[in-house]
Chain A
């Protein structure tokens, strides 16, 4: 068990600066997820922690040791790869035992540990098989077994679930979480899937273009995104954005464009005051939009035209046109809306997000 400290980490491939001044602390026993679109530097960061990629500048500490120059084998880590990287010429047993053999564990110890891991993962029945005789989910388990059998100080996961089908992915996600709770090993998990990030991570790091955008607990990222990028990346369906002008009317602040006219809450108004007369980006989560009912006329709202109705069962997604902007509203499954219906949508003023149009930082 160990904490991992990343200080001012940089990576350049020739002229391309892929990881820029990353600072992270992964606490002991923590499950940290790094999420971001492809090419954001998350995998490169992970590979630098693993020792598979050299470090251009900065430091990585595992426990109290600076590992910059240590080869992967001396870092006491285990990694699970996206394509599982099972050794195709070895049986499942040998795949799992390989790391222990390399470290010269006794025969009995290896056998005992492999059995133990096989039991945890439910792969005891096919220890003698070759990887190609296994299904995707089984291979995934073997890859996981190979990592946990060594009792490393840190687990590194590089998009381990992205080759599985949707149903299995959800199942393995839960299992991964259980295993982590049971073993308590520090873990760094890289994914491009924000649902995985939100469900697995104790804390989540959002990266973009090599820069850490925000670090926080999943709900913190969801409720209080610090940049427009985080706001749009976290949450599915993603946040609606509209450009609005901040206008002062009778001492209160309003966010106005051709289709929207919303009064800003007093709390938000304090922060928004210096933007009066300027354009800002307004962000509304789809689930914060609902149909305005006649008994709350005081609620701010706006008119919308339904363009697409997506019936998901547990909710209905309405793709609506508000002025010139498209928005998605997640509404109750009981709502009867049809294409081309005109609706009045209401929004809770406490749940509005505003972002500076130039810096994209949250206001």
Chain B
């Protein structure tokens, strides 16, 4: 908290806070209000006398009905859910083992390997999708969920590994040593001691990985082509933008419904998640 006079608190704390919160939440508000505005309001020119962009006099569920009834939105949601869960599970599993090994075991090139994994994370997806597309075609995985389930780990595993490595390093080595003296093998010490303590870190890695796969756009755009295979981000943008016509109502309704699962997951684990990011291990 800022100490001192009231004006200081306003200038250095409340005003910046309000600016920050408003600019952060405004896009969500825009998305929400657009989803419920009738087309007549949405496409009204800004010079019209009754132009009111921040409010609606006639809220409607027409866009949501259209989205659910006239498009494959339900299928896209299920596709996205399946792909995200599978990719997250694979990445978390590999990331856990890799992070444990890199942070705890002494072996030649451990440092180099850790750096190497990080570097792979830095390779931009916009470059990587070209060779990956070749691989996907050779394995005949194009236009199946597996095209994404197997390619998402290319950026999720490095990400999970790095996040968890930091977390494992923060866990005192003595805990594991003590477990091993107590009669646990390295595997048991890892499963019974290190992993339970690392739960906040594992949760944050999982949530992040899930969100990244849920929102992923470019691989999904390239590797999936038929409408019934698409994920929410690709489905909504490819089916609701026709030519240069933007169907703003259903688009925003799609974005709104699409962000609900992520919002639920965040709010559910928020405490663990914050603890995981701040890396607090209480002894």
Contacts and interface: CB of A to CB of B under 8 A. Distances in A.
Contacts of B180: 52, 71-73
Contacts of A98: 179, 182, 184, 192
Interface string A75-87: 1011101111111
A150 to B, nearest CB: 7
Contacts of A50: 177, 181
Given A88-B197, A89-B196, A132 B283 contact: yes
B181 A73 contact: yes
Given A86-B283, A131-B283, A72 B181 contact: yes
Max chain A C-beta neighbours (<10 A), residue from B178, B179, B193, B199: B178
A103 interface: yes
A81 B174 contact: yes
Interface string B50-65: 0000000000000000
Size category of the binding interface on chain B:
20 to 34
Interface in A13-60: 50-52
Contacts of A71: 180, 185
A82 B282 CA distance: 16
Contacts of B197: 87-89
A88 B175 CA distance: 9
A102 interface: yes
Contacts of A150: 182-183
Given A87-B193, A88-B283, A132-B283, A102 B184 contact: yes
Interface residues of A, number: 27
A79 B182 CA distance: 8
A85 B178 contact: yes
A84 B283 CA distance: 9
Contacts of B182: 73, 78, 98-99, 102, 146, 150
A72 B177 contact: yes
A83 to B, nearest CB: 6
B188 interface: yes
Contacts of A88: 175, 197, 281-283
Interface in A293-331: none
A98 B193 CA distance: 10
Given A85-B174, A85-B175, A89-B196, A78 B181 contact: yes
Interface string B18-30: 0000000000000
B172 A83 contact: yes
Contacts of B281: 88
Contact of A52 (B177, B188, B196, B283): B177
A75 B183 CA distance: 9
A150 B182 CA distance: 8
Interface centre among A75, A86, A89, A150 (most CB of B within 10 A): A89
B183 A73 contact: yes
A46 to B, nearest CB: 12
Nearest to A99: B182
Nearest to A98: B182
B175 A73 contact: no
B282 A132 contact: yes
Contacts of A75: 181
A50 B174 CA distance: 12
Contacts of B179: 87, 98, 102
A99 B175 contact: no
Nearest to A152: B181
A137 to B, nearest CB: 15
B283 A99 contact: no
Given A85-B172, A89-B197, A102 B282 contact: no
A98 to B, nearest CB: 5
A73 B184 contact: yes
A172 B188 CA distance: 32
A102 B188 contact: yes
B228 to A, nearest CB: 45
B168 to A, nearest CB: 14
A103 B283 CA distance: 24
B18 to A, nearest CB: 37
B177 A85 contact: yes
Contacts of A89: 196-197, 199
Interface string A94-112: 0000110011000000000
Interface in B138-195: 172, 174-175, 177-185, 188, 192-193
Contacts of A146: 178, 182
A87 B195 CA distance: 12
B183 A103 contact: yes
Given A84-B283, A89-B196, A131-B283, A102 B183 contact: yes
A98 B283 CA distance: 16
A77 B177 CA distance: 12
B202 to A, nearest CB: 13
B137 to A, nearest CB: 47
30 contacts: A50-B177, A50-B181, A51-B181, A52-B177, A52-B180, A52-B181, A71-B185, A72-B181, A73-B182, A73-B183, A73-B184, A75-B181, A79-B181, A81-B174, A81-B178, A83-B174, A84-B283, A85-B174, A85-B177, A86-B283, A88-B197, A89-B196, A89-B199, A98-B182, A98-B192, A99-B182, A102-B179, A102-B188, A132-B282, A150-B183
Interface of B: 172, 174-175, 177-185, 188, 192-193, 196-197, 199, 281-283
Q: Which 3 A-B pairs have the closest CB atoms?
A: A99-B182, A102-B183, A85-B174
Given A85-B283, A86-B283, A89-B197, 20 more contacts: A50-B181, A72-B177, A72-B180, A73-B181, A73-B182, A73-B183, A73-B185, A75-B181, A83-B174, A83-B283, A85-B172, A85-B175, A87-B197, A88-B175, A88-B281, A89-B199, A98-B184, A99-B183, A103-B183, A132-B282
Interface of A: 50-52, 71-73, 75, 77-79, 81-89, 98-99, 102-103, 131-132, 146, 150
